[in-house]
Structure 1
Amino acid sequence: MRRPTRAAAVSVAAVTTAAAAAALVPTLAAGSASGAAPACAVVYSVANQWDGGFQGNVVVTNNAAPTTSWKLTFDFPGGQKVAQGWNGTWTQSGTTVTASSMSYNGALATGASVSAGFLADWSGSNPAPTSFALNGTLCNTDGTTPPTTPPTTPPTTPPTTPPGGGDSAPPELHVSGNRLVDSTGKQVVLHGVNRSGSEFMCAQGRGIFDGPVDDTAINAIRSWKGVNAVRVPLNEDCWEGLSYVPAADAGANYVSAISGFVDRLVAHGITPILELHWTHGTYTGNSTGCPDVNATCQKPMPDAQYAIPFWKSVASTFKSEPSVVFEMFNEPFPDRAAATADQAWTCWRDGGTCPGIGYRVAGMQSLVDAVRGTGARNVILLGGVAYSNDLTGWLTHEPTDPAGNLGAVVHVYNFNSCSSASCWDSQLAPVAARVPLVSTELGESDCGHSFIDQYMAWLDAHDLSYLGWTWNTWDCSSGPSLISAYDGTPTSYGIGLRDHLAALG
């Protein structure tokens, strides 16, 4: 879907300057047996652990006087090393780890809590820290429940499975034939929503997210029965920290905010789909969105200069999380620039110098290679041409994937060319018979749901995955919006998706 212009976005979007801190585990009560609270309480947990690495989280509660900034320190007893973190500035000297507040989460009132997380390496064993200090004051000194020690070896079996078998949510995804399956081989069908904002807010100097992305906001998404996936659009200039993007919203700050959101989605059992939405490169041809070289609108194809290192970085960041899905590019439209369909599909796969496009293009094969070169085996999804609405050349031009984990993407709206059951039968079904097909966007321009009702029924009949555009409080002049408030209050269009998913059981 094309994003709103700056003017439209300003009029319909609430500005959020940074990602809100959110807990991956419940905050434990700070009271002691005697009823006296410590000056501060810290709950340490390991959200996920694998051979040689783990994801940790701390929830810090300030029971002393209010403070405008915080610094947490603790020592790793097993030689663990922090690699990166979010919702705080993480450093390590020897065994001592320090997490300092960010600009957006430094204020802690009496009784207030803040959460921060990190990724770290370990070897041999992974014992938990036993002592924590907040701004130099020792925490947990009243006999509160001590932090638990995670397993000293990686688990050899999958987590406890839900009724009916299969992975616990979110599943560890891979491709088997034309299906997405979990680590046990059980088929996974994704149903969910798009969460727009992180593709345009940063490039417009207005923060990172359009609206809240904290635990409360994610719980609102989960309140729609059947939602198990959220698509997160990304901006390569913001990820890579180009100079025109405000520093607070770029580079490490942007990566940290996205990583924190992804980890919260995973903690809530939701499959995150990360996709490159806005890319670099000057394009002034047919269907241009803007003449700007920067990633401030949709371009017909990703650019080789920045998109390849972007995907190398994204893949390196999330390659240890097999539940995270990568969608290489939102809506390719090289067909608008090329003279023939063959030229468009060749550009789509091979990139390089493409007809009508003034910058060097990163083809889908080069993006797949960039991801796999990092060792990442995450599922990769590829949209077709004509804004991902045309899949007629997808199978013929399918890139080679050494991991065998490729799927196709289609976007369907009532105003697209392929918007009828006869077209879906002739163009989508043959692709779905060969590879997993995910409709990562669907919608209709009247903010009703008569069209998507028909389309979702067709997708259900073929056991296909789909996500609605979009979980943002815009009006229909900016595109289909599922909600009118971030508590999950649906629009009339949103009612169609919500009730349909609920009826699936």
Structure 2
Amino acid sequence: MSGNKIVTADGRAYRLLGVSRSSGEFACVQGKGLWDSGPVDQASVDAMKTWNIHAVRIPLNEECWLGVNGTPSGATYQQGVKDYVNLLVANGINVILDLHWTWGAYTNGPDWHCTDEHATCQKPVPDARYAPQFWTSVANAFKGNDAVVFDLFNEPYPEIGSDWNKTLGWQCLRDGGTCTGIPYEVAGMQDLVDAVRATGATNVLMVSGLEWTNDMREWLAYKPNDPLTNIAASWHAYSFNACANESCWDSQIAPLAEQVPVVLSEFGQDTCGFDYMQRLVTWADTHDLGYLAWTWNPWGCTGGAVLIKDWTGTPEPGLGDGYKAHLLTQSPSL
């Protein structure tokens, strides 16, 4: 990193532009293998390249990586991830590894919330039991390969445990420990930064905000300390989020982007159109943000956020067509 830009080895400012490729977070705990029957071969990467994709975000499952739960898990799961990462990097594509599903029984939440202690759903905040171990292991696996970026936790919302007290939420997110309303010991972002750096890994780190990382207002005030000063802000902005218009982006995100790199690591809209997404990527381009749309999976676009109709990269009408057309006009180099 240099100032508010991610840069290449030769010092050129660079944006991470691409997609998320879901399934590594859920398939191993749902009896669907590692990649939910989707291909991770050269042909599938070639399909991504026809969209001008230069970065792929891969959500992971903490317990499957560590061999605690799931099938495959442990060494088999790790090798599958390594093989896919190596293939993408060999094709000139950056990889963002994202800690998506984690351990921790959260039983105090609303009815919609999953209470399973295992990593079978999205939890409010990472756990001290396994998350530092996960990042120690991942960092050891990929240190020396700076084409790989580490997104330390997908979508925190620890403030849910304190009746949406944002100050307590930010403190919990950074410092971890015992957090109001969270029944398990929390690993803060500082703990996870420390775990990665203790391995000697120099990879760029991405750190999220509150409210499913849509609220970035106090990100700078609670930024964890990194001895390498190599942290970017990870922001999500769906059409149904609170911060989902230009006025909010101008007031809350633009000032942050003047200080540190901001990566829009997930975005989409809750229809299969592209109108909201077009506004967002146009704004992001103006402010030199990288962005990765959700998701490169052919699940059928009924509620939005599905980009492709098949693994050959046929775009879904509306948002898929629109995003592909937009990516083809963009270069990651600034």
Q: Same fold (TM over 0.5)?
A: yes
Q: 1 CA distance for matches of 2:66 and 2:304?
A: 28
- The residue number in structure 1 matching 2:137 is 313
- The residue number in structure 1 matching 2:48 is 221
For residues 437-476 of structure 1, what are the structure 2 equivalents within 5 Å? 437-476=262-301
Q: 1 CA distance for matches of 2:303 and 2:205?
A: 29
For residues 95-114 of structure 1, what are the structure 2 equivalents within 5 Å? none
Q: 1 CA distance for matches of 2:245 and 2:161?
A: 26
Structure 1 unpaired stretches of 5+: 1-174
Q: Which runs of 4+ in 1 moved over 4 A?
A: none
Distance 1:479 1:307, change over 3 A: farther
Q: Deviations over 1:7-53 (max 9, x none)?
A: xxxxxxxxxxxxxxxxxxxxxxxxxxxxxxxxxxxxxxxxxxxxxxx
Give the TM-score normalised by structure 2. 0.96
Does residue 14 of structure 2 align to residue 188 of structure 1? yes
- Asked if the contact 2:233–2:261 (Cα under 8 Å) also holds between the matched residues in 1, the reply is yes
Q: Deviations over 1:119-159 (max 9, x none)?
A: xxxxxxxxxxxxxxxxxxxxxxxxxxxxxxxxxxxxxxxxx
- The residue number in structure 2 matching 1:7 is none
Displacement of 1:451 after TM fit? 0.3
Displacement of 1:325 after TM fit? 0.2
- The residue number in structure 2 matching 1:413 is 238
- Asked if the contact 2:7–2:14 (Cα under 8 Å) also holds between the matched residues in 1, the reply is yes
For residues 224-243 of structure 1, what are the structure 2 equivalents within 5 Å? 224-225=51-52, 227-242=53-68
Q: 2 CA distance for matches of 1:476 and 1:289?
A: 24
For residues 152-167 of structure 1, what are the structure 2 equivalents within 5 Å? none
Secondary structure in structure 2 of the residue aligned to 1:193: strand
Does residue 157 of structure 2 align to residue 330 of structure 1? no
- The residue number in structure 2 matching 1:86 is none
Q: 2 CA distance for matches of 1:286 and 1:496?
A: 37
Q: 2 CA distance for matches of 1:478 and 1:367?
A: 34
- The residue number in structure 2 matching 1:303 is 127
Secondary structure in structure 2 of the residue aligned to 1:467: strand
Does residue 34 of structure 2 align to residue 208 of structure 1? yes
Q: 2 CA distance for matches of 1:359 and 1:465?
A: 34
Distance 1:405 1:231, change over 3 A: same
- Asked if the contact 1:283–1:291 (Cα under 8 Å) also holds between the matched residues in 2, the reply is yes
Rg larger for: 1
- The residue number in structure 1 matching 2:252 is 427
Secondary structure in structure 2 of the residue aligned to 1:304: coil
Q: 2 CA distance for matches of 1:493 and 1:284?
A: 36
AA aligned to 1:316 is N
Displacement of 1:476 after TM fit? 3.3
Displacement of 1:189 after TM fit? 1.1
Displacement of 1:286 after TM fit? 3.0
- Asked if the contact 1:203–1:237 (Cα under 8 Å) also holds between the matched residues in 2, the reply is no
Secondary structure in structure 2 of the residue aligned to 1:412: strand
Q: 2 CA distance for matches of 1:485 and 1:476?
A: 11
Out of 147, 167, 172, the residue aligned to residue 347 of structure 1 is 172
- The residue number in structure 1 matching 2:261 is 436
AA aligned to 1:466 is Y
Displacement of 1:403 after TM fit? 0.9
Does residue 103 of structure 2 align to residue 276 of structure 1? no
Q: 2 CA distance for matches of 1:315 and 1:460?
A: 31
Q: 2 CA distance for matches of 1:310 and 1:447?
A: 35
The structure where strand makes up a greater share of residues is 1
Secondary structure in structure 2 of the residue aligned to 1:297: coil
For residues 15-30 of structure 1, what are the structure 2 equivalents within 5 Å? none
Quick one: percent identity of the two aligned structures? 49
Secondary structure in structure 2 of the residue aligned to 1:385: coil
AA aligned to 1:265 is L
Q: Which has the higher contact order (CA 8 A, sep 6+)?
A: 2
Distance 1:310 1:478, change over 3 A: farther
Structure 2 unpaired stretches of 5+: none
Q: 2 CA distance for matches of 1:238 and 1:465?
A: 29
Displacement of 1:479 after TM fit? 4.7
Secondary structure in structure 1 of the residue aligned to 2:19: strand
RMSD: 1.1
Displacement of 1:337 after TM fit? 1.7
Give the TM-score normalised by structure 1. 0.64
Displacement of 1:291 after TM fit? 1.1
- Asked if the contact 2:301–2:307 (Cα under 8 Å) also holds between the matched residues in 1, the reply is no
The structure where helix makes up a greater share of residues is 2
